[in-house]
């Protein structure tokens, strides 16, 4: 009888948590451990920076407001030396910080108070995207990968979470990407806010339907940064949004 190959144990992925609120660090650590992740915790950006560069985790979660070095400064210094995936935790009144963080290279943001299930879903989505980006082309082009979506001047690659408009890259968060994909898959069809919430959030996560309006505003802003005449996302007042690929 030929020898039986030993089972391969999946590598445990590590999440770094950087926040000066020890209650959040403890709560998130417990939740992430329950989901199979290992965690490392840091109470400020200055302490975290050296560790993140010397022994990078798979993903990091930063609070924006911290002593010694805040999340924005930490990301700025980190991005000069690393492409480590980063999620920001923000407060609802920190929209300018969200926009700046995303422009500086954050992968996503989640506003406090947040659903831990939503955070875990976003972590898994970003880690999948990160693994695909690092995979050899022959592995990343497997038969189970979703096909790119081409709609006029828009190109979406769901497997790699990449978006271009007229060939110019547009950086989107996971939530923004999912909303845009839902619209682009059926151009001209009006999608209600509830339908877009279903596309972007898991069933057990509740968000106010006006959250979709905020995401649409950010989508338009990002596309207009590469094309001031962008107008492919239409609003039908009282009904929802649609994508025009003409």
Residues 223-227, mean pLDDT to the nearest whole number: 93
pLDDT in tens, 117-172: 888 888 888 887 777 655 554 554 554 566 788 998 999 988 777 899 999 998 88
pLDDT for residue 55:
92
Domain-ending residue, one of 83, 104, 134: 134
Question: For residues 37, 40, 45 and 51, what is the CA-based torsion angle, rounded to 10 degrees?
Answer: -110
Q: What's the CA gap between 204 and 118, in Å, rounded?
A: 9
pLDDT in tens, 21-58: 999 999 999 999 999 999 999 998 888 999 999 999 99
More confident residue, 94 or 46: 46
pLDDT for residue 4:
54
pLDDT in tens, 158-212: 877 789 999 999 888 777 888 999 999 999 999 998 888 878 765 545 555 567 8
> Same structural domain for residues 109 and 191?
no
> Same structural domain for residues 176 and 114?
no
Residues 61-81, mean pLDDT to the nearest whole number: 88
Residue 8 clears pLDDT 50, i.e. is over it:
no
> Same structural domain for residues 163 and 104?
no
> Same structural domain for residues 39 and 78?
yes
pLDDT for residue 153:
92
Range of the structural domain that residue 114 is part of: 14-134
**Residue 225 CB partners (closer than 8 Å, separation 6+):** 170
pLDDT for residue 66:
86
- Report the CATH number at residue 161: 1.10.10.10
Domain-ending residue, one of 79, 111, 134: 134
> Same structural domain for residues 161 and 194?
yes
More confident residue, 131 or 213: 213
Place of tokens 């022959």: 138
> Same structural domain for residues 119 and 160?
no
**Residue 179 CB partners (closer than 8 Å, separation 6+):** 196, 199, 200, 212, 215, 216, 219
Give strand ranges (E) for 105-219: 108-112, 149-151, 154-157, 162-165, 168-169
Domain-ending residue, one of 115, 134, 153: 134
Q: What's the CA gap between 127 and 61, in Å, rounded?
A: 12
Looking at the structure of the chain, the number of domains it has is 2
pLDDT for residue 191:
92
pLDDT for residue 109:
80
Share of the chain above pLDDT 90, in %: 34
């Amino acid at each position: 009888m030929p020898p039986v190959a030993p089972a391969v144990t999946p590598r445990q992925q590590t999440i770094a948590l950087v926040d000066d609120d020890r209650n959040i660090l403890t709560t998130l650590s417990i939740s992430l451990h329950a989901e199979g992740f290992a965690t490392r915790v840091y109470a400020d950006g200055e302490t975290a920076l050296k560790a993140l560069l010397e022994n990078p985790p798979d993903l990091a979660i930063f609070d924006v407001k911290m002593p010694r070095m805040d999340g924005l400064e930490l990301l700025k210094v980190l991005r000069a030396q690393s492409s480590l995936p980063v999620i920001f935790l923000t407060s609802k009144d920190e929209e300018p910080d969200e926009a700046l963080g995303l422009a500086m290279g954050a992968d996503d943001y989640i506003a406090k108070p947040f659903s831990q299930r939503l955070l875990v879903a976003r972590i898994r989505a970003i880690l999948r995207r990160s693994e695909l980006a690092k995979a050899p082309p022959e592995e990343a082009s497997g038969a189970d990968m979703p096909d790119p979506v081409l709609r006029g001047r828009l190109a979406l690659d769901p497997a790699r979470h990449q978006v271009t408009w007229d060939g110019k890259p547009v950086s989107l968060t996971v939530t923004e990407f999912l909303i845009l994909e839902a619209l682009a898959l059926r151009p001209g069809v009006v999608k209600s806010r509830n339908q877009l919430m279903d596309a972007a959030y898991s069933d057990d996560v509740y968000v106010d339907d006006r959250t979709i309006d905020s995401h649409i505003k950010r989508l338009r802003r990002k596309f207009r940064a590469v094309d001031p005449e962008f107008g492919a996302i239409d609003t039908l007042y009282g009904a929802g949004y649609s994508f025009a690929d003409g």
